[in-house]
Amino acid sequence: MKLSILSFILIFFAINDCSNEAQEEIKSVSYKTYTRGSSSTYTITPEVIKVISTGFDARERTIKISEEQWNTIISEVKKIDVSKIENLEAPTESRASDAAAHAELSLILDDSEYKSSTFDHGNPPNAIKPLIEAILRLAENLE
């Protein structure tokens, strides 16, 4: 009897994948670029993408996104170890001499915010490059 109960419990845990890694809900993804005189912030939520630009061409634009577009963003976020993005090293340092804009990525999952270290706009660390490219493709619709 004890063996059958133990077997049932083991099968139950195996079927339900009782790992402690609960799926975190992705609430928003933001990509920010900035220089001395201007900045652009791209914020994506399940409903919209919003781009806020400051400087000479200051404006704010928002469009609705489809579920498919949001799922593309989610798919790219899930490929990233978010707990390590703050420690990703930038492949280049052109922003230090104003040869490139500074950039950073911010993810809000559940009640936690994960921010990358800064990197050159146009040359992100490889671990987040596909996500940055997906964000910029979505933003092209606003230009």
pLDDT above 50 (res 22): no
User: Strand pairing partners for 26?
Assistant: 109
Count Cα atoms within 13 angstroms, Cβ side, for 51. Answer: 19
Residue 106 counted as domain residue: yes
Residue 14 counted as domain residue: no
What's the pLDDT score for residue 43? Answer: 97
3 state SS of 89: coil
Count Cα atoms within 13 angstroms, Cβ side, for 91. Answer: 9
Q: Give the mean pLDDT of 62-84.
A: 95
Residue 8 counted as domain residue: no
Residue with more model confidence, 11 or 37: 37
pLDDT above 70 (res 48): yes
Average pLDDT of the chain to the nearest whole number: 86
Residue 3 counted as domain residue: no
Q: How many whole angstroms from its chain centre is CA 14?
A: 31
Domain that holds residue 89: 22-142
pLDDT above 60 (res 69): yes
Q: Give the mean pLDDT of 85-100.
A: 90
pLDDT above 70 (res 45): yes
Residue 98 counted as domain residue: yes
Q: How far apart are CA 140 and CA 125, in angstroms?
A: 21
Give the CATH number of the domain where residue 39 resides.
Answer: 3.30.1560.10
**Which range among 54-58, 110-114, 138-142 shows the weakest confidence by mean pLDDT?**
138-142
Residue 117 counted as domain residue: yes
Domains identified in the chain, total number: 1
What's the pLDDT score for residue 21? Answer: 42
Please work out, in degrees rounded to the nearest 5, the angle formed at the alpha carbon of residue 51 by the alpha carbons of 47 and 53. 165
Per-residue pLDDT band for 70 (boundaries 50, 70, 90) equals very high
What's the pLDDT score for residue 142? Answer: 66
pLDDT above 60 (res 5): no
Residue 11 counted as domain residue: no
